[in-house]
Amino acid sequence: MTFRISYKRMRPATHEDSEDSDLLYSKNSSVDESTDIQDDIRPKHTPFAMSEQHSTCATTFKRAKNTRDVDCEPNPLYETFSANASQPLISQLADSRRERVMWIRRLLSAGRDGTVLLRVRQRCSTVWRETHRCSAVVYREHSHDIDTLRMEMLPLPPVKDGSVRIRMLAAPVNPADLNMIQGSYPILCPVPAVGGNEGVGEVLEVGSDVTSLRPGDWVVPVDAGFGTWRTGAVCEEDELMSVPKDISLLGAATVFVNPCTAYRMLSDFQTLAPGCTVIQNASNSAVGQAVVQIAAALGLKTINIIRDRPNCAELVDELQSLGADYVVTEEEVMSSGLHRVFEEVPKPKLGLNCVGGLSGGLVLSNLDYGGTMVTYGGMAKRPLQIPAKSLIFRDVTLKGFWLTQWKRHRKEDKAQLKAMLDAVCDLMRAGQLSTPHCVQTPFQQYTHALRATVQSHRRKHVLIM
Ligand SMILES: NC(=O)c1ccc[n+]([C@@H]2O[C@H](COP(=O)([O-])OP(=O)(O)OC[C@H]3O[C@@H](n4cnc5c(N)ncnc54)[C@H](OP(=O)(O)O)[C@@H]3O)[C@@H](O)[C@H]2O)c1
């Protein structure tokens, strides 16, 4: 049987509390051996018991329909408390977690809902002075079901000499984040894990050995797997890089994956002089929008393939306003080809494939002799269709690109990462690279953002913490 167990943490308020709107806290209320605990456990707004000598945490459990199992892993620094007025509550006081679990099991096997209090033998004032927490979107298993993710409260370790405490400000929901949760990405975090790979945070506290960061700096995680869907984190200094604060918050939150990918692909695979042409699919993606703008800044022409949609003209206008020279649907390329385009611009030396399947074949078959197609995404989840004549008669080269690997190969040489980040931020400052069109979503509504990300023809969502 599965029992829905809801936790509520009760502790003195900190500055982070205002962000945790779904939590209740109480201060200075106390319980001791003589307290009538049954009375103390009133629904929902009952003050949680804390004293100078010991704090007390509650696990309230409630049987759900069709339940089978008991799953309870109480953690005294990680408790929430949520009682339901209509539930008959049985309470027990336990002196250890094991004892509490035992009590819960005993009560459940007797078919009763209830509450077990865990007495924590620590001065709560000391506990909370040393311990920070954050809200985080956690997945405990790999799954395609977004409902398996939960907003949880996590304790943060104290800041040590070489570490840094940050508060996250904003973090996008990228397709790769979902692949990681689903378990289909080439690198996976051990579960339970916090979702999100990209985002911007603000440094709150640094250890005594930290030299590259100061409180107040904006920072981005260097590597994938950071778990950016959280309100705060403590990590090592070298896991972060500072980003300038004179770009927009959304720009900073989304700078280190998609625009950098676009920048690298336009720089590393073909020598492209002004006037050369680049062709790409999924041109409205965040990477695609960055390709359009960076290419325009470099004086390159772009042919941009998109999927047809009801509001296609609107999207064409949007991409053209970013600097796209040609915007065509997959259907138009298949039915009419690009002959008229090639009367005006040279055939592309570089093709960028985000989709695979038939769409990747459209990019490939329109490349110039000796051209290169770089595959960096597989949105269609279909094998790339490669026309044999492209390989035989036009000597095209097929390559792949993965920014995570590119960064990892330069892990010891942060100068290269910084040079790339600086170049992209310079473009932003110069007004040549704008933040992708996106929807800002309050952090608490992460489910909405995740659901939207798996749908077609939608905008990127950025969680605002
Ligand atoms: N290799 C790397 O280093 C690297 C780095 C960054 C991103 N990426 C990859 O690049 C891709 C785009 O990322 P992003 O953050 O830019 O994406 P995004 O802004 O979320 O946009 C997603 C794009 O994929 C298209 N798409 C969605 N489902 C599709 C399907 N079934 N068939 C064809 N097209 C589909 C969308 O087109 P519609 O609007 O028509 O739905 C849209 O253009 C992802 O696969 C991501 O993992 C790779």
* DSSP letters for 343-382: TTSPPPSEEEESSBHHHHHHHHHTPPTT-EEEE---TT-B
Say what the pLDDT of residue 223 is: 96
Does ligand 1 come within 6 angstroms of the Cβ of 307?
Answer: yes
With a 6 Å cutoff on the Cβ, whether 261 touches ligand 1 is yes
Distance between Cα 455 and ligand 1 center (Å): 11
Q: Residue 219 is inside which H or E element, if any?
A: strand 218-221
For ligand 1, atom 8, name the residue with the nearest CA: 377
Mean of all residue pLDDT scores within the chain: 80
Average pLDDT over residues 62-69: 36
The Å distance, Cα 131 to ligand 1 centre, comes to 39
pLDDT(257) > 80: yes
98 against 263, higher pLDDT: 263
* pLDDT of 5 strictly over 80: no
Band (56; pLDDT cuts 50, 70, 90): very low
- Ranked by mean pLDDT, the top range of 22-26, 103-107, 194-198, 384-388 is 194-198
Is a pLDDT exceeding 60 seen at residue 261?
yes
pLDDT computed for residue 106 by the predictor: 67
- Single-letter amino acid code for the residue at 106: R
* Contact 407 CB / ligand 1 (< 6 Å): no
| CATH class for the domain made up of 133-252 | alpha beta
* Residue 43: pLDDT over 50: no
More confident residue, 116 or 297: 297
pLDDT on residue 40: 28
Ligand 1: centre distance to CA 284 (Å): 9
Residue nearest to atom 39 of ligand 1 (CA): 457
Q: Which of 4-18, 176-190, 406-420 has the lowest mean pLDDT?
A: 4-18
**Residue ranges covered by each domain of the chain:** 3-126, 133-252, 258-404
Neighbouring CB atoms inside 10 A of 91's CB total 19
CA dist 135 and 147 (Å) reads: 17
Query: What pTM value is reported for the model?
Result: 0.76
Residue among 376, 366, 358, 359 nearest 303 (CA):
366
Q: How far apart are CA 411 and CA 19, in angstroms?
A: 34
Instruction: List all residues 6 or more positions away from 86 whose beta carbon is below 8 Å from its beta carbon.
Output: none
Ligand 1 centre distance from Cα of residue 307 (Å):
12
Model confidence pLDDT, tens digit, residues 68-83: 333 333 333 323 233 3
- pLDDT above 70 as % of the chain: 72
Residue bearing the bigger pLDDT, 35 or 411: 411
Instruction: Using most ligand atoms within 8 A of CB, pick from 287, 435, 459 the residue to mutate for ligand 1.
Output: 287
Q: Identify the pLDDT of residue 413.
A: 86
pLDDT above 90 coverage of the chain, percent: 69
Give the residue from 335, 333, 303, 336 showing the smallest Cα distance to 319.
303
Measured from the CB, is residue 377 less than 6 Å from ligand 1? yes
Q: Are 209 and 243 in contact (CB under 8 A)?
A: no
Q: Which residue has the higher pLDDT, 141 or 412?
A: 141
pLDDT at 436: 87
- The architecture that CATH gives domain 258-404 is 3-Layer(aba) Sandwich (3.40)
- What is the Cα–Cα distance from 452 to 465, expressed in whole angstroms? 18
Q: Which residues of 280-311 are buried (b: 16+ CB within 10 A; e: fewer)?
A: bbbbbbbbbbbbbbbbbbbebbbbbbbbeeee
For 126, the 3-state DSSP assignment is helix
Lowest mean pLDDT among 13-27, 260-274, 318-332: 13-27
Q: 274 vs 17, which has greater pLDDT?
A: 274
* Cβ–Cβ under 8 Å, residues 291 and 278: yes
Q: How far is the CA of 175 from the centre of ligand 1 (A)?
A: 7
* Rounded CA separation 391/398 (Å): 9
Instruction: Please identify, by atom number, the ligand 1 atom nearest to the C-alpha of residue 377.
Output: 45
Give yes or no for residue 176 CB within 6 A of ligand 1. yes
| Residue 450's pLDDT band (cuts 50, 70, 90) | very high
Give me the pLDDT at residue 437, please.
87
Whose CA is closest to atom 42 on ligand 1? 285
pLDDT band for position 116 (50/70/90)?
A: low
Give the catalytic positions in this structure.
185
